[in-house]
Amino acid sequence: MSKLESNLPASGSGVDLQQRYVLGQRLDATDYADATERVVDWARRGESRYVCLSNVHMVMQGWDDPNFRQIINTADLITTDGVPLVWCLRALGVPSAVRVYGPDLTLHVCATAAQQQLAIGLYGGTAQSLKEFAALLQSRFPAIEIACSIAPPFRPLTAAEDATYTKQLAESGARILFVGIGCPKQEIWMSEHRGRLNMPMLGVGAAFDFHAGRIKQAPAWLQAIGLEWLFRLLMEPRRLWRRYAWHNPRFVLFFIGQLLRGRRRRRTSQGHVGRGSSSEPINKV
């Protein structure tokens, strides 16, 4: 089995997930039901895990920084948060791939956590956005228990501050933690806290602000055609224009290159097989 054809271990449903690598970053072909089941199962077991919700920005951050890519690739689950990555999975032989969008996965997990009496924790955002998000959760899922809600400062934490927050989270009774401090900060934070917090951690980016109504979400039709980035750019041009101008064109170019290399390897492999020679894995990045 080649690097791009590996599987993620089965969840409680007994279903193995197909994996592919896009520009060196792993993607897991999950869906909302499977991802929620995995997170809840880890929570019931008290396992220290982390989930990354990947988009083009994250892939390109990893392309530019191999250390960050390694942090992503060692996550316990990596979902396709961005529609372009769904298209990539389909192009790499997973026609059933679907989007698993961070704000929506957050609600799926919260709904199941409320049903199963698994307390949640919130880490990120601002005190006001967390208050508004907590109110929304409690209105939608009256049985939900929010054991801890922390809005850390936006600057780098001191070791003492981090130790204090980590202790507060560990002792809160939370069984699932939503981390919303932005990419790449939240992925690095989760990696550093795996083994220190006995709960699954989900890096949900701006989900708190989206659900609190502080940041507008793109219309569903724009999301479906992969243009959510354009909507966000129009909403926050000063903050986001450099990111999209730098990452998006390179992503398209480099992924086309990956596909072309894969096709060449397949042709070479077929030629070798025809001559009776052994062939190397065709899907290696």
pLDDT tens digits for range 20-41? 999 999 999 999 999 999 999 9
Q: What is the pLDDT of residue 7?
A: 64
* Angle of helix 56-64 versus helix 66-73 axis, rounded to 10: 130
- What are the C-alpha distances in Å from 182 to residues 54, 125, 136, 137, 281? 12, 9, 21, 21, 35
pLDDT grade for 2, boundaries at 50, 70 and 90: very low
CA-atom Rg of the chain in angstroms: 20
280 pLDDT more than 80: no
pLDDT score at 5: 54
- Residue 166's domain spans which residues? 3-226
Confidence of residue 14 (pLDDT cuts 50, 70, 90): low
Each residue of 197-218: b (16+ CB within 10 Å) or e?
Answer: bbbbbbbbbbbbbbbbeebebb
Confidence at residue 284, expressed as pLDDT on a 0 to 100 scale: 39
Q: How many other CB atoms sit within 10 Å of the CB of residue 164?
A: 13
Residue 252 covered by a domain: no
pLDDT computed for residue 195 by the predictor: 96
Q: Which residue has the higher pLDDT, 237 or 76?
A: 76
The confidence score (pLDDT) of residue 282 equals 34
Tell me if 190 is assigned to some domain.
yes
Q: Has residue 235 got a pLDDT over 60?
A: yes
Q: Domain for residue 266, yes or no? A: no
In a domain, 277, yes or no: no
237 domain-assigned: no
Structural domain count of the chain: 1
In a domain, 100, yes or no: yes
Mean pLDDT of 261-277: 72
Could you report the per-residue pLDDT of 69-87, keeping only the tens digit for each?
A: 999 999 999 999 999 999 9
Q: Which of 6 and 147 is assigned the larger pLDDT? A: 147
Residue 264 lies in a domain: no
> What number of other Cβ atoms are within 10 A of residue 142's Cβ?
8
